[in-house]
Amino acid sequence: MNIINEVTKILDLLYKHGWDERNGGNFSYLISSDEAQLITSNTKAIKDFVYNDIDLSLLVGKYIIITGTGTYFKNMKDFPEENLGLLKIVDNHTLSLLWGYSKGGMPTSEAPTHLQCHIERLKKDPLHRVVMHTHPTNVICMTHILPLDSNKFTEILWKMQTESIVVFPEGVAVLPWILCGGTKIGIETSKLMSEYRSVIWAQHGIFCTGKTIDETYGLVETIEKAAEIYLKICDKKITQSISNENLLEIANAFKLDYKKGIID
């Protein structure tokens, strides 16, 4: 059950940051068949969940842990089997529950977005495994006061701290407000995932992806810290800052494949 401990530890940290109030936020994690067998030996479907609007062919045969709809991150560590589900993608539209949702739950309402993001990221990176949706306070604040332009957000966040361009050289994408929990927002988010690992939802939160839980969590932390720095200084007189030339120096030193057209 170590993999469940790994998942619930991170979800508890997200809650303690104040980024996943009530039932806010959701999470999914592609795992191997060997990892799945450490959670349960059950191979028969407890229940099936069908997503007719999504072609899951790229995911068939894979196992995935997904947070349940209406579940609270604060309860994950103490009651993982109630709040998490282990599912197998069995055909182009169906996920079979093998473990979890013990009180009769189902995958998060954002499951369509998670599944579509996994598909797009796997096309770019076969080692991709994690999709994390959370509500970082300062990132959300930025969407209230700035034009919802991906390049503008990227430039600001890169210039807030030296590590930003190192951690997310591809930048961040920004979507305008769209009704959450449906296929449309999943389609729009996954389209951007072909170019970015992070997509900000205006007045809502952020979707981040990665190869590991630590990498994905660290991506959220870094973006949110940059957003916090921006909000603390945006109404003050700036006497010095990171310049475009400084960012190019960092990119060259770390051999970064950074998003072009923003600082050059």
**Helix, strand, or coil here: 197?**
coil
6 catalytic? Reply is no
End-to-end CA gap in the chain: 48
CA 104 distance to own-chain centroid? 25
Separation between Cα atoms, residue 56 and residue 139, nearest integer Å: 31
Q: Would you tell me how many other CB atoms lie within 10 Å of the CB of residue 43? A: 10
Q: 35, 110, 163, 245: which is the annotated catalytic residue?
A: 110
Measured on CA atoms in the order 176, 181, 187, 189, is the torsion positive or negative? Answer: positive
Position 17: which residue type?
H
Helices 213-233 + 150-160 axis angle, to 10: 90
Position 59: which residue type?
L
Which residues pair with residue 232 across a beta bridge?
none
Distances (CA, A) of 12 to 16, 19, 130, 134, 214: 6, 10, 16, 12, 13
Q: Catalytic positions, please? A: 110
